């Protein structure tokens, strides 16, 4: 007769059940049993149940229970996802994954510095959440230039296939599937940030058309039911205000999924408001206002590694040194017309810009800015742009392309030029005559001699080509016209050249990168084309055009100064010596270097975001062009602003600093875990144990497979009355004794349970090393296991085993209890800190009745929170034997 509490096997349902009630009526014995896998109670005839000891006398059950226990342990404390040979996570990347797994709420800001592999960290999280059946539908939102890179890295490094959905693809997908629900068609999607941001207005569109546009993009994305949303370059969605389209998109995406990863190398922009908006995307309640931006409140949400602390698997510094050389280039007599052209354009820009400001026509001022930059880029670039502008003015084919002029300064030069060339003229007849004079000189200058910068470039490349340590070089320019000019010039000198710019589609871009890696010597890229590049196989960067924003230079260098770079990075900055821009650069660098020394930083990019600073630096340069005698004054104005922003950014940087040590050993061991293979063998053993030789066709080797989920949800415990099986492990030098697996359970949370091995020899002495070694042997796929007779434990042996297990479990109890209390304490601090801020805000309410009511509500909520956290700290430890065998 079976007793309440006994475990048994229901062979019809093929599951392990526990008896919770037994009744006899008219000669029928019926048991109410509980199936822990399905969390179901049902009735079954007692005669149908199979005794536990009759089932476990089987080699495949032993293999199954060893694997099952190992995988459950990994689920509780380790990493389940298979890491292929394509990638061995670095210590800081593995640290990011562990931070995510330790958290109750998977909503994080990954804020590693540029080049440390945030994409890899996100990929590790994707694999692990999928392996744990926590995420199936995943959306990655990133800038357009990074879409291909994300797709390629997910496939190459993690064997994860993502579908790229661009705006132009939507109609095609609808036609193929016959539905407007585009984003629900695929479980894993990548789309560009600006392609799905909502529109407020657009020239020529009525409200109905705008609403239809938004519904087909952002609303379709939000309604697709995501488990995990990843936003790359997340500082772009922090917005300059809560009303901008990008911020609206980010805020809505943050609410569209339970799990959220925000990725940015510059979470701080020098202003506290954008950072607060980022943190509110992660947890709105925890950050009610700016007062919540303090280290103890922010730290649980931030994972950040700085380059200086990053190490490889041997503990060595991860990044190589960097050498920067400024190449000041003088105009010689043979370049006299180039110098004349520069001076003429500068005068034209000075007069045109000042007039545009007086007439409040900022769009014309913006055109002047671009003409000045074109002139120092190349003669070909300014000549071509002048020709296009002249053609438009002659044909009166002009229109104001953008009404939102404040956005022009955020555009890349390559993109902005296309808009600026077509802007309305203040007085087209006067402008046309002046442009014709400039164009005539530009044509003459081209014929007079090679550009001075191009000459210097050729000299440098010839020297680099003779140095065995230098192979390839990447040249950055701001304009496509200069890019084309340099290509023709260098190819005539025998160089193999590839071009990359923002007009290329994803396929063309990939072809160019493949060509540069394998065939060509030089890649000439614009800033738009260079976004998202990983070019570790190249260590020379030549800034042919020096951007007015110095932080864009850092972004360019970051293309080669990345993980995997084996050489020191060499940077050459080209600048024309006798120009206003060079004078500004020298003064600006001097001022900034003083600030760096005062603030203890190495470069501006360490603390500020490039998008934030774009307008400030442009303003300094153009004001210096229009008033060259007051360069010091113009620089001083922005100097104070930059200093204040740096101070603010440093405060935020200190807040987001993530202080810890990296586990290099764990990073190496991770690739060797083989959990996926062990999972397959666990299922196979289970089927053979149940007499089914034909193995199942699994949906996947992760917890999303229904059978694997069901098996791992089942608890397998030994009945105290069961005899134990004898096993033989040929070739293993071990004394005879009792080997067992025990499970300690503190709560229903999988993180609060552990299975551990125990070995007691026949004299009652415990051998921890033998316990671990035998478990490892039973996990080997080709380990020979012999089966012997059943042995009945004596009462004394049962007592000794339990006492030994209790001693081992006590240390585990302290470890698990400490970890649980740390998690609860962290969660409680966040919640109560935010609650205190909300209570403080109530005091500012003017109406007493409303104030009292709101305060009572918040105090009641605070009381409820404290009670919930107090209940979470209550533990009910249970220690049970999973399996016991006699090892002969």
Q: Taking 90 as the threshold, does the pLDDT of residue 452 lie above it?
A: yes
Read off the pLDDT band of 375 (50, 70, 90). Answer: very high
pLDDT in tens, 284-319: 888 888 888 888 888 889 898 887 788 877 777 888
What's the rounded mean pLDDT across residues 430-452?
A: 91
Residue 200 near residue 249 (C-beta atoms within 8 A): no
| Amino acid 759: pLDDT | 96
206 or 372: which leads in pLDDT: 372
Residue 68 near residue 711 (C-beta atoms within 8 A): yes
255 or 272: which leads in pLDDT: 255
pLDDT in tens, 319-339: 888 888 999 999 999 999 999
Q: Taking 80 as the threshold, does the pLDDT of residue 73 lie above it?
A: yes
Q: Which residues contact 672 (CB under 8 A, 6 or more apart)?
A: none
DSSP secondary structure of 645-657 = HHHHHHHHHHHH-
What's the rounded mean pLDDT across residues 393-397?
A: 73
Question: Which residue matches tokens 């001699």?
Answer: 449
Domains of the chain plus CATH, in order, are 1-50 (2.30.30.30), 66-82+673-888 (no CATH), 84-304 (3.40.50.10810), 335-448 (no CATH), 579-656 (no CATH)
CA angle 86, 230, 536 (to 5 degrees): 40
HSE-CB for 558 with a 13 A CA cutoff = 19
Each as own residue / partner, the long-range contacts of residues 862-866 (CB below 8 Å, 24 or more positions apart, any chain) are 862/832, 862/835, 865/828, 865/831, 865/832, 865/835, 866/832
| Amino acid 401: pLDDT | 44
381 or 589: which leads in pLDDT: 381
What's the rounded mean pLDDT across residues 784-805?
A: 91
Q: Is 133 left (phi over 0), alpha (psi -120 to 50) or beta?
A: left
Residue 696 near residue 756 (C-beta atoms within 8 A): no
- Select from 89, 128, 96 the least CA-distant residue to 110: 96
Each as own residue / partner, the long-range contacts of residues 718-723 (CB below 8 Å, 24 or more positions apart, any chain) are 718/7, 718/52, 718/880, 718/881, 718/882, 718/883, 718/884, 719/6, 719/7, 719/52, 719/53, 720/798, 720/881, 721/6, 722/52, 722/53, 722/56, 723/53, 723/790, 723/791, 723/792, 723/793
* Distance of alpha carbon 710 from alpha carbon 784, whole angstroms: 28
Q: Taking 70 as the threshold, does the pLDDT of residue 399 lie above it?
A: no
* Distance of alpha carbon 245 from alpha carbon 231, whole angstroms: 15
Helix (H, G, I), strand (E, B) or coil at 837: helix
- Give the sign of the dihedral formed by CA 378, CA 383, CA 388, CA 389: positive
Read off the pLDDT band of 568 (50, 70, 90). Answer: confident
| Amino acid 175: pLDDT | 59
Q: Which two tokens stand for residue 417?
A: 């030029």
669 or 459: which leads in pLDDT: 459
| Amino acid 636: pLDDT | 84
513 or 529: which leads in pLDDT: 513
Convert 793-815 to b/e letters by CB count within 10 Å (16 or more is b): beeebbebbbebbeebbeebbee
| Amino acid 244: pLDDT | 67
Q: Taking 50 as the threshold, does the pLDDT of residue 634 lie above it?
A: yes
Residue 276 near residue 290 (C-beta atoms within 8 A): yes
* Distance of alpha carbon 373 from alpha carbon 481, whole angstroms: 12
* Distance of alpha carbon 402 from alpha carbon 419, whole angstroms: 8
As a whole number, the mean pLDDT across the chain is 82
Q: Which two tokens stand for residue 109?
A: 């800001």
> Quick count: other Cβ atoms within 10 Å of Cβ 688?
18
| Amino acid 701: pLDDT | 52
What's the rounded mean pLDDT across residues 62-74?
A: 89
Q: Taking 70 as the threshold, does the pLDDT of residue 792 lie above it?
A: yes
pTM: 0.66
């Amino acid at each position: 007769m079976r007793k309440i509490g006994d475990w048994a096997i229901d062979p019809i349902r093929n599951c392990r059940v526990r008896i919770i009630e037994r009744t006899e009526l008219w000669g029928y014995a019926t048991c109410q049993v509980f199936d822990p896998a399905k969390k179901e109670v049902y009735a079954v005839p007692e005669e149908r149940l199979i005794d536990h000891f009759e089932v476990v006398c089987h080699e495949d059950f032993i293999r199954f229970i060893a694997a099952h226990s190992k995988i459950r342990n990994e689920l509780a404390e380790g990493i389940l996802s298979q890491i292929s040979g394509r990638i061995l996570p670095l210590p800081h990347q593995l640290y990011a994954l562990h931070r995510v797994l330790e958290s109750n709420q998977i909503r994080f800001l990954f804020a590693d510095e540029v080049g440390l592999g945030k994409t890899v960290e996100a990929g590790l999280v994707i694999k692990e959440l999928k392996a744990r059946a926590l995420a199936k539908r995943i959306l990655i939102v990133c800038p357009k230039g990074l879409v291909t890179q994300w797709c390629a890295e997910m496939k190459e490094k993690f064997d994860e296939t993502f579908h790229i959905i661009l705006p132009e693809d939507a109609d095609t997908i609808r036609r193929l599937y016959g539905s407007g629900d585009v984003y629900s068609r695929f479980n894993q999607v990548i789309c560009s940030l600006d392609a799905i941001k909502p529109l407020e207005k657009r020239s020529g569109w009525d409200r109905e058309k705008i609403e239809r546009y938004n519904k087909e993009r952002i609303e379709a994305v939000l309604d697709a039911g995501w488990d995990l949303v990843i936003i790359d370059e997340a500082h772009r969605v922090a917005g300059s205000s809560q009303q901008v389209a990008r911020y609206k998109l980010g805020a809505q995406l943050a609410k569209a999924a339970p799990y959220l990863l925000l990725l940015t190398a510059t979470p701080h922009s020098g202003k506290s408001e954008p950072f607060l908006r980022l943190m509110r995307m992660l947890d709105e309640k925890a950050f009610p206002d700016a007062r919540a931006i303090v280290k103890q409140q922010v730290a649980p949400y931030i994972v950040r590694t700085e380059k200086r602390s990053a190490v490889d698997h041997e503990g060595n510094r991860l990044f190589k040194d960097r050498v920067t050389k400024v190449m000041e280039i003088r105009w010689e007599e043979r370049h006299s017309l180039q110098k004349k052209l520069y001076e003429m354009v500068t005068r034209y820009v000075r007069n045109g810009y000042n007039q545009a400001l007086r007439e409040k026509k900022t769009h014309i001022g913006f055109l002047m800015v671009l003409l000045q930059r074109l002139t120092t880029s190349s003669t070909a670039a300014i000549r071509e742009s002048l020709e296009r502008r002249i053609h438009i003015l002659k044909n009166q084919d002009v229109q104001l392309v953008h009404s939102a002029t404040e956005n022009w300064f955020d555009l890349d030069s390559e993109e902005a030029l296309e808009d600026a060339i077509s802007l309305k003229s203040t007085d087209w007849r006067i402008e046309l005559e002046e442009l014709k004079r400039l164009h005539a000189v530009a044509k003459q200058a081209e014929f007079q001699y090679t550009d001075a910068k191009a000459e210097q470039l050729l000299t440098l490349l010839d020297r680099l080509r003779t140095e065995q340590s230098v192979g390839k070089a990447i040249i950055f320019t701001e304009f496509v016209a200069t890019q084309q000019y340099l290509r023709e010039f260098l190819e005539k000198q025998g160089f193999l050249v590839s071009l990359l710019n923002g007009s290329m589609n994803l396929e063309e871009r990939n072809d160019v990168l493949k060509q540069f890696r394998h065939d060509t010597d030089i890649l000439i890229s614009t800033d738009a084309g260079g976004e998202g590049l990983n070019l570790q196989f190249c260590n020379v960067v030549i800034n042919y055009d020096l951007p007015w924003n110095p932080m864009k230079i850092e972004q360019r260098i970051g293309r080669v100064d990345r993980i995997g770079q084996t050489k020191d990075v060499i940077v050459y900055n080209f600048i024309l010596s006798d120009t206003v821009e060079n004078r500004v650069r020298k003064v600006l660098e001097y001022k900034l270097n003083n600030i760096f020394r005062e603030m203890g930083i190495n470069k501006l990019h360490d603390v500020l975001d490039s998008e934030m600073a774009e307008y400030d630096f442009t303003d300094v340069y153009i004001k210096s062009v229009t008033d060259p005698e007051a360069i010091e004054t113009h620089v001083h104005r922005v100097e104070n602003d930059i200093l204040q922003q740096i101070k603010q950014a440093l405060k935020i940087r200190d807040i987001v600093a993530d202080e810890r040590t990296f586990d290099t050993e764990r990073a190496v061991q991770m690739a060797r875990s083989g959990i996926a293979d062990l999972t397959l063998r666990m299922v196979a053993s289970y089927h053979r144990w149940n007499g089914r030789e034909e193995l199942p066709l699994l949906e996947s080797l992760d917890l999303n497979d229904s059978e694997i989920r069901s098996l791992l949800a089942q608890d397998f415990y030994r009945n105290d009355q069961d005899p134990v099986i004898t096993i033989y492990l040929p070739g293993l030098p071990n004394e005879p004794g009792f080997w067992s697996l025990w499970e300690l359970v503190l709560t229903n949370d999988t993180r609060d349970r552990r299975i551990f091995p125990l070995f007691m020899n026949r004299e009652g002495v415990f051998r921890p090393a033998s316990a671990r070694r035998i478990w490892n042997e039973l996990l080997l796929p080709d380990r020979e296991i012999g089966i012997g007779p059943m042995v009945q434990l004596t009462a004394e042996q049962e007592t000794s085993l339990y006492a030994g297990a209790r001693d081992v479990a006590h240390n585990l109890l302290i470890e698990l209890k400490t970890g649980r209390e740390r998690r609860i304490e962290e969660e409680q601090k966040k919640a109560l800190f935010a609650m205190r801020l909300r209570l403080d805000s109530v005091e500012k309410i003017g109406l007493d009745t409303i104030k009292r009511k709101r305060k009572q509500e918040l105090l009641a909520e605070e009381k409820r929170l404290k009670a919930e956290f107090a209940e979470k700290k209550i533990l009910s430890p249970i220690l049970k034997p999973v399996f016991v065998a006699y090892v002969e």
